[in-house]
Amino acid sequence: MSTTQQRVDASTIPSMKIYDWFDGPYPARVRIALAEKGLLPNVEFVSVNLWTGEHKEPEFLAINYSGTLPVLELQDGTLIAECTAITQYLDSLDGHPVLTGETPREKGLIHMMTKRAEIEFLDAVSVYFHHATPGLGPKVELYQNAEWGAKMGEKAIRGMRYFDNLLKGQPFVAGNTFSMADIAVLGGMIFASLVKLPVPEECVALRAWHDNMQERPSYQTWRALVEQGAPKS
Protein backbone atom coordinates (compact mmCIF):
# COMPACT_ATOMS: atom_id res chain seq x y z
CA MET A 1 0.00 0.00 0.00
CA SER A 2 1.32 3.43 -0.88
CA THR A 3 2.03 6.02 1.81
CA THR A 4 -0.61 8.22 0.23
CA GLN A 5 -3.30 5.60 0.73
CA GLN A 6 -2.35 5.43 4.40
CA ARG A 7 -2.37 9.21 4.83
CA VAL A 8 -5.65 10.25 3.19
CA ASP A 9 -8.83 10.29 5.28
CA ALA A 10 -11.39 9.83 2.54
CA SER A 11 -14.21 10.95 4.83
CA THR A 12 -12.86 14.51 4.72
CA ILE A 13 -12.92 14.67 0.90
CA PRO A 14 -16.14 15.75 -0.85
CA SER A 15 -17.89 13.31 -3.15
CA MET A 16 -17.26 13.59 -6.89
CA LYS A 17 -18.70 12.25 -10.12
CA ILE A 18 -16.59 10.92 -12.99
CA TYR A 19 -17.87 10.23 -16.48
CA ASP A 20 -15.83 7.41 -17.99
CA TRP A 21 -15.89 3.92 -19.48
CA PHE A 22 -14.89 1.00 -17.30
CA ASP A 23 -11.91 -0.30 -19.30
CA GLY A 24 -10.86 2.76 -21.31
CA PRO A 25 -7.09 3.40 -21.28
CA TYR A 26 -7.49 7.10 -20.52
CA PRO A 27 -10.05 6.53 -17.76
CA ALA A 28 -7.61 3.95 -16.38
CA ARG A 29 -5.15 6.75 -15.63
CA VAL A 30 -7.62 8.55 -13.38
CA ARG A 31 -8.90 5.36 -11.74
CA ILE A 32 -5.33 4.34 -10.89
CA ALA A 33 -4.66 7.83 -9.48
CA LEU A 34 -7.83 7.57 -7.39
CA ALA A 35 -6.68 4.20 -6.05
CA GLU A 36 -3.23 5.62 -5.24
CA LYS A 37 -4.89 8.44 -3.30
CA GLY A 38 -7.44 6.18 -1.59
CA LEU A 39 -10.28 8.19 -3.10
CA LEU A 40 -12.29 5.58 -5.01
CA PRO A 41 -15.01 5.53 -2.29
CA ASN A 42 -15.60 9.24 -2.91
CA VAL A 43 -16.46 8.82 -6.57
CA GLU A 44 -19.67 8.00 -8.39
CA PHE A 45 -18.84 6.65 -11.84
CA VAL A 46 -21.19 7.46 -14.69
CA SER A 47 -20.75 5.15 -17.68
CA VAL A 48 -20.42 6.71 -21.14
CA ASN A 49 -20.27 3.86 -23.65
CA LEU A 50 -17.42 4.41 -26.08
CA TRP A 51 -18.45 1.54 -28.34
CA THR A 52 -21.90 2.95 -29.02
CA GLY A 53 -20.60 6.49 -29.45
CA GLU A 54 -22.29 8.00 -26.39
CA HIS A 55 -19.27 10.28 -25.97
CA LYS A 56 -20.06 11.91 -29.32
CA GLU A 57 -23.76 12.50 -28.62
CA PRO A 58 -25.05 16.06 -27.93
CA GLU A 59 -25.87 15.17 -24.33
CA PHE A 60 -22.26 14.35 -23.53
CA LEU A 61 -20.78 17.05 -25.76
CA ALA A 62 -22.61 19.52 -23.53
CA ILE A 63 -20.46 18.17 -20.68
CA ASN A 64 -17.20 18.01 -22.64
CA TYR A 65 -17.15 19.60 -26.07
CA SER A 66 -14.19 17.48 -27.23
CA GLY A 67 -16.16 14.29 -26.64
CA THR A 68 -13.38 12.59 -24.69
CA LEU A 69 -13.26 10.68 -21.41
CA PRO A 70 -12.87 10.95 -18.49
CA VAL A 71 -14.54 14.08 -17.07
CA LEU A 72 -14.65 15.00 -13.39
CA GLU A 73 -17.71 16.81 -12.03
CA LEU A 74 -17.49 18.51 -8.63
CA GLN A 75 -20.36 19.11 -6.24
CA ASP A 76 -20.72 22.72 -7.39
CA GLY A 77 -21.08 21.61 -11.01
CA THR A 78 -17.52 22.44 -12.06
CA LEU A 79 -16.35 20.16 -14.88
CA ILE A 80 -12.68 19.20 -15.29
CA ALA A 81 -11.61 17.22 -18.35
CA GLU A 82 -8.18 15.86 -19.38
CA CYS A 83 -6.41 13.19 -17.32
CA THR A 84 -3.52 15.44 -16.31
CA ALA A 85 -5.81 18.19 -15.05
CA ILE A 86 -8.01 15.73 -13.16
CA THR A 87 -5.01 14.06 -11.53
CA GLN A 88 -3.57 17.43 -10.52
CA TYR A 89 -6.87 18.30 -8.86
CA LEU A 90 -7.11 14.96 -7.05
CA ASP A 91 -3.50 15.14 -5.91
CA SER A 92 -4.05 18.52 -4.26
CA LEU A 93 -7.12 17.54 -2.25
CA ASP A 94 -5.28 16.29 0.83
CA GLY A 95 -2.53 18.92 0.76
CA HIS A 96 0.13 16.28 0.11
CA PRO A 97 0.69 16.05 -3.66
CA VAL A 98 2.77 12.97 -4.32
CA LEU A 99 1.65 12.12 -7.86
CA THR A 100 2.35 15.57 -9.28
CA GLY A 101 5.39 16.50 -7.16
CA GLU A 102 5.97 18.51 -4.01
CA THR A 103 8.98 20.65 -4.95
CA PRO A 104 9.23 22.97 -7.97
CA ARG A 105 11.83 20.63 -9.49
CA GLU A 106 9.63 17.58 -9.02
CA LYS A 107 6.60 19.35 -10.43
CA GLY A 108 8.51 20.44 -13.53
CA LEU A 109 10.04 17.04 -14.22
CA ILE A 110 6.77 15.17 -13.66
CA HIS A 111 4.82 17.54 -15.89
CA MET A 112 7.46 17.25 -18.62
CA MET A 113 7.58 13.47 -18.54
CA THR A 114 3.78 13.18 -18.41
CA LYS A 115 3.54 15.31 -21.52
CA ARG A 116 6.17 13.19 -23.25
CA ALA A 117 4.32 10.04 -22.26
CA GLU A 118 1.21 11.40 -23.92
CA ILE A 119 2.78 12.79 -27.09
CA GLU A 120 5.36 10.09 -27.76
CA PHE A 121 3.42 7.03 -26.66
CA LEU A 122 -0.16 7.07 -25.35
CA ASP A 123 -1.69 9.49 -27.86
CA ALA A 124 0.22 7.79 -30.68
CA VAL A 125 -1.34 4.45 -29.73
CA SER A 126 -4.74 6.16 -29.70
CA VAL A 127 -4.30 7.46 -33.25
CA TYR A 128 -3.10 4.01 -34.33
CA PHE A 129 -6.24 2.49 -32.83
CA HIS A 130 -8.64 4.97 -34.42
CA HIS A 131 -7.05 4.96 -37.88
CA ALA A 132 -5.11 1.71 -38.46
CA THR A 133 -7.63 -0.66 -36.88
CA PRO A 134 -11.44 -0.85 -36.97
CA GLY A 135 -11.32 1.32 -33.87
CA LEU A 136 -14.70 1.88 -32.25
CA GLY A 137 -16.54 0.75 -35.35
CA PRO A 138 -18.14 2.46 -38.34
CA LYS A 139 -20.80 4.27 -36.31
CA VAL A 140 -18.07 6.14 -34.41
CA GLU A 141 -15.08 6.17 -36.77
CA LEU A 142 -16.50 8.47 -39.45
CA TYR A 143 -13.05 9.16 -40.94
CA GLN A 144 -9.97 6.96 -40.97
CA ASN A 145 -6.53 7.38 -42.54
CA ALA A 146 -4.78 4.02 -42.41
CA GLU A 147 -1.43 5.42 -43.52
CA TRP A 148 -1.45 8.02 -40.76
CA GLY A 149 -2.51 5.38 -38.26
CA ALA A 150 0.40 3.16 -39.26
CA LYS A 151 2.83 6.07 -38.88
CA MET A 152 1.52 6.70 -35.37
CA GLY A 153 1.96 3.02 -34.58
CA GLU A 154 5.61 3.40 -35.52
CA LYS A 155 5.83 6.51 -33.35
CA ALA A 156 4.39 4.60 -30.39
CA ILE A 157 7.09 1.93 -30.81
CA ARG A 158 9.74 4.67 -30.83
CA GLY A 159 8.15 6.01 -27.67
CA MET A 160 8.48 2.60 -26.04
CA ARG A 161 12.17 2.58 -26.91
CA TYR A 162 12.59 6.08 -25.51
CA PHE A 163 11.09 5.13 -22.16
CA ASP A 164 13.03 1.86 -22.13
CA ASN A 165 16.27 3.78 -22.45
CA LEU A 166 15.16 6.22 -19.76
CA LEU A 167 14.24 3.44 -17.34
CA LYS A 168 17.65 1.82 -17.69
CA GLY A 169 19.01 4.53 -15.41
CA GLN A 170 16.15 5.23 -12.98
CA PRO A 171 13.33 3.28 -11.31
CA PHE A 172 10.46 5.56 -12.33
CA VAL A 173 9.61 7.68 -15.35
CA ALA A 174 10.32 11.04 -13.70
CA GLY A 175 13.14 9.92 -11.40
CA ASN A 176 13.16 8.08 -8.09
CA THR A 177 9.48 8.33 -7.16
CA PHE A 178 6.26 6.96 -8.61
CA SER A 179 4.24 9.78 -10.16
CA MET A 180 1.60 10.86 -12.62
CA ALA A 181 4.18 10.30 -15.36
CA ASP A 182 4.34 6.59 -14.55
CA ILE A 183 0.55 6.42 -14.71
CA ALA A 184 0.62 8.06 -18.15
CA VAL A 185 3.13 5.51 -19.50
CA LEU A 186 1.13 2.75 -17.85
CA GLY A 187 -1.91 4.03 -19.74
CA GLY A 188 0.10 3.67 -22.92
CA MET A 189 1.00 0.09 -22.03
CA ILE A 190 -2.66 -0.69 -21.29
CA PHE A 191 -3.73 0.76 -24.64
CA ALA A 192 -0.92 -1.00 -26.54
CA SER A 193 -2.00 -4.30 -25.04
CA LEU A 194 -5.63 -3.71 -26.03
CA VAL A 195 -4.71 -3.03 -29.66
CA LYS A 196 -2.03 -5.75 -29.71
CA LEU A 197 0.81 -3.33 -30.44
CA PRO A 198 3.77 -5.34 -29.15
CA VAL A 199 6.55 -4.00 -26.96
CA PRO A 200 9.90 -4.67 -28.68
CA GLU A 201 11.70 -7.64 -27.16
CA GLU A 202 14.81 -5.56 -26.57
CA CYS A 203 12.92 -3.15 -24.28
CA VAL A 204 13.98 -5.08 -21.18
CA ALA A 205 13.92 -2.11 -18.80
CA LEU A 206 10.44 -1.05 -19.92
CA ARG A 207 9.18 -4.59 -19.51
CA ALA A 208 10.67 -4.86 -16.01
CA TRP A 209 9.18 -1.51 -15.03
CA HIS A 210 5.80 -2.65 -16.36
CA ASP A 211 5.99 -5.84 -14.31
CA ASN A 212 6.64 -3.74 -11.20
CA MET A 213 3.77 -1.39 -12.01
CA GLN A 214 1.37 -4.31 -12.29
CA GLU A 215 2.27 -5.31 -8.75
CA ARG A 216 1.13 -1.98 -7.30
CA PRO A 217 -2.14 -2.18 -5.33
CA SER A 218 -3.57 0.70 -7.37
CA TYR A 219 -3.08 -1.19 -10.64
CA GLN A 220 -4.51 -4.37 -9.17
CA THR A 221 -7.53 -2.41 -7.93
CA TRP A 222 -8.06 -1.01 -11.42
CA ARG A 223 -7.72 -4.47 -12.94
CA ALA A 224 -10.30 -5.85 -10.50
CA LEU A 225 -12.74 -3.11 -11.52
CA VAL A 226 -12.24 -4.01 -15.19
CA GLU A 227 -12.75 -7.69 -14.51
CA GLN A 228 -16.12 -6.91 -12.95
CA GLY A 229 -17.21 -6.26 -16.51
CA ALA A 230 -19.26 -3.63 -18.26
CA PRO A 231 -21.89 -1.88 -16.14
CA LYS A 232 -25.45 -3.04 -16.62
CA SER A 233 -26.87 0.43 -17.15
- Can you give the CATH number for the domain in which 61 is found? 3.40.30.10
Has residue 53 got a pLDDT over 50?
A: yes
pLDDT confidence of 10, banded at 50, 70, 90? low
3-state secondary structure of 154: helix
Same domain, 68 and 144: no
% of the chain residues with pLDDT over 90: 89
- How many domains in the chain? 2
Q: How many CB atoms lie within 10 A of CB 59?
A: 9
User: pTM of the full predicted structure?
Assistant: 0.93
What's the pLDDT at 9?
A: 63
Same domain, 120 and 90: no
- Name 83's Cβ contacts closer than 8 Å, sequence gap at least 6: 26, 29, 30, 70, 184, 187
What's the pLDDT at 50?
A: 96
How far is the C-alpha of 132 from the C-alpha of 146, rounded, in Å? Answer: 5
Has residue 42 got a pLDDT over 90?
A: yes
Same domain, 90 and 120: no
Residue 72, phi then psi, degrees to nearest 5: -95, 130
Same domain, 212 and 108: yes
The whole domain housing 24 covers 3-97+221-227
